[in-house]
Structures are given as structure tokens and as C-alpha cells.
Structure 1
Amino acid sequence: MNHTFNDVTLLITNYNRSLSLENLLKSFRALNCHFGAIIVTDDGSQPLHLDRIKKLQQIIPFQLLTSARNMGAGYNMNKGQRAVKTPYTLFVEDDFEAGAQFPAALRESLEQMNKRSDLDIVRFYAYFRYPYLKPDSATFSEMVFSPLATNYRKVHYYSDHPHLRRSSFLDKFGAFDETTPPDQTEYRMCISFLQNKGKGLFYNDYTGLFYHNNSVEPSTIQRSGWQKSSGALVTFARVIYRQLKHNYDIHFMNIRGRQLTTPQP
């Protein structure tokens, strides 16, 4: 069965993970999943990976956006999103693969987005379920945010994990920060999403929609010992710190007003 989504562009960010990109694209092909467009936005990958990507492009057609050098996750995301021409964007990072249940989930999500103009995103994957959900239907729950909620993970209302969003996303929430490391770039968009009253649904049975496959080409992001430590005291301190910081940032961090500089290649 063919699954055609003409109003959706599949946007994939890539950096030095050409084998993972191939696995992702082939997972959609195996599902007979077709999009209005496919855009791969590459962030200055090494020549070996770019050569592989260009060979892959001859098998599975897509638009390839490149950079002369690594410009950062925010630049890569902005570059790709601005090239989208369809009303909706399916955003997926290169180290994921689509599962058998995904085409049906995307169709249901598009129905919701078309029906409800207040929705900005529908999320399809998470390391952990968003902590505050209000049942919307048997398929979806609406994510709910309250500044008084105690779980600091409430800040992850937005996530870079696979999701469907309106292609006007940058107009409402601002560009992704091009001056910070990937984790901070995502965090700043989380804050902007909350500050600008973003609204989204969480797909209830998300476990079979996407699979995170970073074993072939692991992430190149390096995190500090403080972030990785699992000691009880450090973990407790980290929770308290995040709770205070997130609440402060949501109320006082100037996201939309900041002046982002776009690095030149």
C-alpha cells in the first residue's frame, strides 16, 4: 500500500552520518511512504560522507543543502526549514528509522493539524513521556504546561525528536539559535515555544513509530561530567538546579528579542 503525503516535506538534518541517513530513507521507502518533498540539510560533513550522500541521492531523490564547513545545529535547522515549500514539515534527525505504524500515525496527525488551527506540533518519539498530558482521544494526548508544575521536564514541550510541525514554525517561534551547542540550541527553542504559547499533541502509542539507531554512527556531541554523572548527590543537585533554571528562563529569558548572527561560510 502506498502512503502519499503531498502536503508534507520530510526534513532531515545530517552531519557525518551517511550510513544512518541511508537507513532512515530506506525505512520510509520500505513503508511505501512518499512526501511532497525530501530535504537533507547537511552541516559540513566530511567528503567521504558527502560522496555517499550524493550516491544515495541517485537512488532516492532528495534535495541536498550543504555547508562549506560545520556551522552548528541551529544554522543547519534554519537552512533546512527555510527551504520547505509545503504547509507541513516532518522533522527527523538522521539517526532514526521509521517503524511500521508510522504512516497511519502521520495520516491521523495531519487530520488533527488540518482540523485544529491552534496546533503547532505533533510529537512521535520521546526518551520519556511528556509528564503532563490531558487525554484528547484514544490516539492523542494534549501536552499541558503549568509554571507551577514540579517536574522540570515540563520544559521539553518542544523536542528535536521526530515530530510533525507547521512549516511556518520559525515565523511564530523565531529561528533556532545559531550561536550555541546543539543541546543549548534545542533548549532555547523549548523556552521560546513555551513563551510564545505553543500547543501540541503527543502520540500516545509512540513506541513503534520511530526507532533511535545511533549504534552504527554514534553522536558526536560531547557532554560534561556534570551532565553525565549518575551519583545520587549530583543527580539531586541537578534536578533542583534545572527546576529553578527552567522556571527562571521561561519568565525572564529574552528569546524573541535576541539578535542572532548568521555565520558566513
Structure 2
Amino acid sequence: MSTTPTYFEDVSLMVTHYNRSQSLERLLSEMKRVNCQFKEIVVSDDGSKQEHLDYIAQLKNNYDFKLVTTPKNKGLGNNLNKGQDAVETPYTLYIQEDFILLNNFASNLANGLALLKEHPDFDMVRFYAYNKYPYLKKCRDGFSEMLFKWWYPGLDKFAYYSDHPHLRRTTFPEKFGRYREGVSGDKTEFAMMMSFLKNKGKAFFYDAHKSALEQVNSAEEPSTMHRNRWRNSDNFFIRNLRTIYRYFNCYSGLFFRKF
């Protein structure tokens, strides 16, 4: 690993945070370890408990970041919107606080940024996903262009946009709108996914999608995203009903509903 810092003067790191201040510290520490530096770091907090806010105040002694807060929890959409509003550079790297950067991240980010600069018609570069996107066209440096057609088989094609770590133009809201507020995190992400598709967004995908970052949820600070039994059940009938609902939800969203 190079000891020479990689400085991204036209990129801001935006981190969303909620009640996981030690996870935030780990992310910021790992950022230093892999020698990745940004013009600015924006931490957008979603009304965390006072003990976490106090801990974040201590972190500011060791890390230079801008903290954007709210007096009460307003959900993922609001947290993303106010964080993006605070960014002052042309590009935004969005990462949730429960991720860490791996040794090759800085070089991959540099390559992804170069792709966005070379292709002004592209809107974002995705670095992480639970599953590899099913329809890709090889590009370079380990990246592929994501392809979407409504007639492609399966539902995984709809996961074109994701809230997982990605680099995007800071003008993103001007093309795709602001994140939906006052609804669950899943509905916020779904609405942006549909807006991205309807407005013909274009994205690159890092093929080795689990080798640049790692998601870490500790017992002390577990995930704050909770899903109901309907989404998690392995019951045969519920699984099939869920699949039917997803087909209806995705295609009706793409063709008939506004986002």
C-alpha cells in the first residue's frame, strides 16, 4: 500500500450517521489508513442520541469534518438531502457510517472519478453491492457500464441505483430530484431508484463489487435498518407472494407512477 496520500480536491465525502459514532470513527480512521483525502468531509446526522453527538464532538478534535445535524430523527431521505445540500465540490462520494475502506479503494476511486470526467453523460459510479448487477458492458480498470432495458429478464435489473457507496455528481438532485422524505428508508431508496430509471440515469459498476469496501455491523453498534417479517420471511407462500408483489411494484412504478 502506498504511503503517499491520494488527494481528491474536487470530491467531498458525505457520510450519513445515526447512533453509531464508533462506526463513524472506524470509517474515518480507515480513511486515514488507506491515505485517502478529500476536499471536505460532511457528516450528516439524523438526530442521534446525545451520547453519540458528544462522541462525535470529540472526534472533531482528530478529524476535520463538517457536521450537519437535526433536532430529531427525520429519516433517511432528510438525512441524505441535508447532507447533499452541505457539499461544496463538483463530486460527492456517499458512504454510510458502517463501511470501511479496503487497501485498493483510493486507486479505484481515482479510476471511477476519471470515468465520470471522461463521460459527462454518466451520473454515478457504484463501488459496492450485495450482488453483482446482472447486465454489464465491460469498460476499463475493472469497471463496466450498467445496462437497463425493461424487457430484460428478472427483477435484479431494477437495482440500477442503490444507496450503497457510490460516487456521483453533486448536481445529482437537479436531474433526479431530492430524496423522498417522511417514508421508510426502503421506500426512499425505491423512489430514487425509479427516478433514476425514468430520467435515464447512467452508471458505472465496479466489477469486484466487494473488494473496495466492506460493510461491518458490530454487536455493539448493529444495523439501524429494520425490516418487517414480510421482507425477511423464508416461508414458501410468503416468498412467492413477495415476488409477485415486487414484479407489480417495479413495473407499475416504472410505467404508471410518478416519483
CA separation in 2, counterparts of 1:254 and 1:203? 30
Shift of 1:125: 0.3
Q: What is the match of residue 251 of structure 1?
A: 255
> After the TM superposition, which residues 60-75 of structure 1 pair with which residues of structure 2 at under 5 Å, given as runs?
60-75=63-78
Structure 2 residues not aligned, in runs of 5+: none
CA separation in 2, counterparts of 1:194 and 1:105? 25
| C-alpha contact 2:90 2:170 (8 A) present in aligned 1 | yes
Q: What is the match of residue 97 of structure 2?
A: 94
CA separation in 1, counterparts of 2:173 and 2:123? 11
Structure 1 residues not aligned, in runs of 5+: 256-265
CA separation in 1, counterparts of 2:197 and 2:126? 15
Aligned length: 255
| C-alpha contact 1:73 1:181 (8 A) present in aligned 2 | yes
Shift of 1:130: 1.0
Q: What is the match of residue 241 of structure 1?
A: 245
CA separation in 1, counterparts of 2:58 and 2:67? 12
Q: What is the match of residue 263 of structure 1?
A: none
CA separation in 1, counterparts of 2:249 and 2:50? 40
| C-alpha contact 1:150 1:243 (8 A) present in aligned 2 | no
1:12-47 CA distance string (max 9 Å, x none) = 000001011000110101111110100000011000
CA separation in 1, counterparts of 2:148 and 2:193? 12
Q: Please point out which of 221, 224, 237 is paired with 2:225.
A: 221
Shift of 1:138: 5.0
Residue 156 (1) aligns with residue 156 (2): no
4+ long deviations beyond 6 Å = none
Q: Please point out which of 106, 117, 120 is paired with 1:117.
A: 120
1:85-127 CA distance string (max 9 Å, x none) = 1010000001100111100000001110110001101000000
Q: What is the match of residue 26 of structure 2?
A: 23
Q: Please point out which of 37, 40, 43 is paired with 1:37.
A: 40
Q: What is the match of residue 49 of structure 2?
A: 46
| C-alpha contact 2:74 2:182 (8 A) present in aligned 1 | no
CA separation in 2, counterparts of 1:80 and 1:94? 13
1:121-156 CA distance string (max 9 Å, x none) = 100000011121122235111111111122212121
1:171-226 CA distance string (max 9 Å, x none) = 11000001211111011000000011000000112222110011241122221111
TM-score norm. by structure 1 comes to 0.94
CA separation in 2, counterparts of 1:186 and 1:212? 18
CA separation in 1, counterparts of 2:96 and 2:141? 27
CA separation in 2, counterparts of 1:13 and 1:223? 19
TM-score norm. by structure 2 comes to 0.96
Shift of 1:244: 2.1
Shift of 1:240: 2.3
Identity, % of aligned positions: 44
Report the aligned-residue RMSD: 1.0
